[in-house]
Amino acid sequence: QSALTQPASVSGSPGQAITIPCVGTNSDIGGYNFVSWYQQHPGKAPKLIIYEVTNRPSGVPDRFSGSKSGNTASLTVSGLQAEDEADYYCSSFTGGNIELFGTGTKVTVL
């Protein structure tokens, strides 16, 4: 089992849009619409922000959006805000009821 691949860091200025890619294979991301995204602030537990590729739980701002193309899922944060500075992780279920997480991306708001 290998982790999904994310860039180590992404940065942007307040108000800008950033996109975090999450690269997998056709055995995980490419094979299922079971991609989710989690936000983690320092010292806190991860928090669900996107599920099943594109869906936002209630209470998550609509500046967070998800998409998928082939074996790559993406998280876009539009209108970046200071409180969006955090670590972000993707995850995907695979065949055999196994789950893979991404390597994680640190988002810095300049």
Partner 1 sequence: QERMVESGGGVVRPGRSLRLSCAASGFTFSRYGLHWVRQTPGKRLEWVAVIWSNGINKYYGDSVKGRFTISRDNSRNTFYLQMNSLRAEDTAIYYCTRALSSYHDCWGQGTLVTVSS
- Does position 47 interact with partner 1 (CB under 8 A)? The reply is yes
Q: In whole angstroms, how close is the CB of 8 to partner 1 at the nearest point?
A: 10
Q: Which is nearer to partner 1, 77 or 104 (CB)?
A: 104
- Does position 101 interact with partner 1 (CB under 8 A)? The reply is yes
- Does position 34 interact with partner 1 (CB under 8 A)? The reply is yes
Rounded to the nearest 5 degrees, what angle is found at the Cα of 37, between the Cα atoms of 84 and 91?
145
Residues 74-93: x where in contact with partner 1 by CB under 8 A, - otherwise, as a string: -------------x-x-x-x
Q: In whole angstroms, how close is the CB of 23 to partner 1 at the nearest point?
A: 16
Q: How far apart are CA 65 and CA 30, in angstroms?
A: 18
Q: Is 82 helix (H, G, I), strand (E, B) or coil?
A: helix
Which of 36-69 are b and which e, b meaning 16 or more Cβ less than 10 Å from the residue's Cβ?
Answer: bbbbeeeeeebeebbbebeebeeebeeebbbebe
Rg (CA), the chain: 13
- Does position 52 interact with partner 1 (CB under 8 A)? The reply is yes
User: Which spans of this chain sit near partner 1 (rule: CB under 8 A)?
Assistant: 1, 3, 32, 34, 36, 38, 45-48, 51-52, 57, 87, 89, 91, 93, 96-104
